[in-house]
């Protein structure tokens, strides 16, 4: 059985993260946060990201459930979290997403 490189493990983690409809939906919404979420009191939708509470509400799930989805996406490097006061705001990591696309295409 061949050993997996760190890059291969990262691609595998990202693909596992993307294998869930709710996580795919979150990434889709975060691609255009201004169109998909209301203005926030703290944090800018584009530069800071979207508050996890807004994501939970839009998904129609509890905050802990949304947090678990966001944790999986963050672990895979697809989103980045930023603390502002007591809240965590999330935005896509576009550089990592581009790298993942290139890695998938080069393997196929």
Cβ-proximal residues to 13 (8 Å cutoff; 6+ apart), any chain: 75, 76, 77
pTM of the entire predicted model: 0.86
Residue 57 lies in a domain: yes
The parent domain of residue 103 ranges over: 6-107
Q: What is the CATH number of the domain that holds 42?
A: 1.10.10.10
Contact 83, 74 (CB under 8 A): no
The two three-digit tokens of residue 31, written as one number = 């691609």
Report how far residue 34's alpha carbon sits from residue 41's, in angstroms, rounded to the nearest whole number: 14
Task: Quote the number of domains for the chain.
Answer: 1
Residue 1 lies in a domain: no
pLDDT 10s per residue in the chain (108 long)? Answer: 444 566 677 888 899 999 999 999 999 999 999 999 999 988 889 999 999 999 999 999 999 999 999 999 999 999 999 999 999 999 999 999 999 898 888 765
Q: What is the pLDDT of residue 88?
A: 95
């Amino acid at each position: 059985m061949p050993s997996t490189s760190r890059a291969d493990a990262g691609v595998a983690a990202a693909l596992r993260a993307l294998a869930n409809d709710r996580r795919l939906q979150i990434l889709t919404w975060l691609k255009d946060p201004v169109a998909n979420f209301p203005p926030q009191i703290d944090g800018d939708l584009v530069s800071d990201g979207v508050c996890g509470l807004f994501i939970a509400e839009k998904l129609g799930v509890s905050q802990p459930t949304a947090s678990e989805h966001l944790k999986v996406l963050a672990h895979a490097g697809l989103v980045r979290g930023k603390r502002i006061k007591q809240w965590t705001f999330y935005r896509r990591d576009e550089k990592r997403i581009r790298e993942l696309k290139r890695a998938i295409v080069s393997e196929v």
